[in-house]
Amino acid sequence: MPYGTELLAQNLLREAFKKQGSDIHFIPESEQMIVQIRALGDLTMHKKISVNQGERLISHFKFKASLDIGEKRKPQSGASTVTIEEEKVSLRISTLPSAEGKESMVIRLLPQSFAVPIEKLSLFSNSAKTLTILVRQPQGLILFSGPTGSGKSTTLYSLIHYCSTELNRSIITLEDPVERNEDHVLQVQINERAGVTYASGLKAVLRHDPDMIIIGEIRDEETADIAVKAALSGHLVLSTLHAKDTKGAIRRMIDLGIRKEDLKQSLIGATGQRLVKIQVDGKTQSRTSIYEIMTSNAVCDYLDELPLQYPYATLEQLFRKGAALGYVSSQEYHRWITPTVYYPQKRSAGFPSPIK
């Protein structure tokens, strides 16, 4: 039977899991340790514990993740797997020293349950249908963009599961780290210390006869170049990219050295994703995804700097629709949609006129 620090750790994980928590934060202070839990996107105070208890908890989780318990001056990261309420949960653990020499920690909880069907992830059914149509294509590049924590990885795993079970595709993933184990999928862990980078791993994957390649993230010019070439050579390639929205994802690929003509030939879809709280009868129920999706015709028009003959629903339009249907609260709408400010003609001094 667990006791002491181990029991405290188990109870903390169980409490976070029951709250649908995604992250646990340990924040050191001079005389106590603050424990916070992020659930449904909101970070809230969970409890205050003594410095001694907090340090023992951090050491416990570091040990479980095979980290150096004695090293408190350098950032460390690792992973472990636990069982909570009869469900396997992967823990991604990150430590960071403070200026006072104390150690903070964040634990991300990643349930290993079956992938959620894409139609249950999307607020609007048309978005789910468009995504499944895109991944049924035999070749091409599909990019997923959005801020950290917007659900991009969850979407990828859902589509991987769909393609593996429904389409019987040969799928290879390159991940850093592997967040969820998928049956019938070859998953490769990126390990830069061992020389396994996204670029080098992708070169090796292309020799392994895959139908579909998943790249956890396009980070550099070499990976972007190989991904586009893989899509042009007959593979379906899915990847995430740090960008605000679909147009931002396209511009980011150009910044990484991809020619517009190659993008027009390879990019069959780009998405911008947000994970939003939805309400029923005025009460927040859960979170779901809103997808801005630009398909190949719109991509070509955008790259040619032409008026869009094939319009697509933007994130702002989709949020307005969600608000009109009563699913998205005013607070949630304004959390994600920044009002556009239009300035009148500039004065001679070079400053905009005040807005009234």
pTM score? 0.85
Q: Based on the fold, state whether residues 141 and 67 are members of the same structural domain.
A: no
Confidence of residue 162 (pLDDT cuts 50, 70, 90): very high
Dig out the tokens for 187 from the structure. 């998953």
What is the number of structural domains in the chain?
A: 2
pLDDT in tens, 260-316: 999 999 999 999 999 999 987 777 778 999 999 999 999 999 999 988 888 899 999
Question: Do the domain assignments include residue 345?
Answer: no
Q: What does the DSSP 8-state code read for residue 193?
A: G
Residue 352 lies in a domain: no
Q: What is the 3-state secondary structure (H, E, C) of 9-51?
A: HHHHHHHHHHCCEEEEEEEECCCCEEEEEEECCEEEEEEEECH
Which pLDDT value is given to residue 337? 87
Task: Report how far residue 289's alpha carbon sits from residue 273's, in angstroms, rounded to the nearest whole number.
Answer: 7
The predicted model gives 305-329 an average pLDDT of 92
Spatial CB neighbours of 199, under 8 Å, sequence gap ≥ 6: 220, 222, 223, 226
pLDDT digits (tens, 9 = 90+) for 228-263: 999 999 999 999 999 999 999 999 999 999 999 999
My answer on whether 79 and 189 are in the same domain is no
Any idea what the CATH number is for the domain that residue 164 is in? Answer: 3.40.50.300
Phi-psi label, residue 189: left if phi above 0, alpha if psi -120 to 50, beta otherwise: beta
Same domain, 320 and 227: yes
pLDDT at 353: 35
CB atoms within 10 A of CB 339: 6
Examine residue 307 and say whether the peptide bond preceding it is cis (omega within 30 degrees of 0): no
Instruction: Say which CATH number the domain at 82 has.
Output: 3.30.450.90
Of the listed ranges 160-164, 200-204, 276-280, 293-297, the least confidently predicted one is: 276-280
Structural domain span for residue 52: 4-111
Residues 213 and 302 in one domain: yes
Residue 270 shares a structural domain with residue 168: yes
Q: Kindly tell me if the per-residue pLDDT of 191 is higher than 50.
A: yes
| 133 and 260 housed in the same domain | yes
Q: Using one digit for the tens of pLDDT, what is the confidence trace for 93-142? A: 999 999 888 999 999 999 887 788 999 999 999 999 999 999 999 999 99
Q: Are residues 145 and 266 in the same domain?
A: yes
Residue 310 lies in a domain: yes
What local confidence, expressed as pLDDT, does residue 172 receive? 98
Tokens at 171, concatenated: 């799928």
Average pLDDT along the chain: 91
Based on the fold, state whether residues 232 and 324 are members of the same structural domain: yes
Q: pLDDT digits over 11-63, tens only?
A: 999 999 999 999 999 999 999 999 999 998 899 999 999 999 999 999 999 99
- Residue 352 pLDDT > 80, yes or no? no
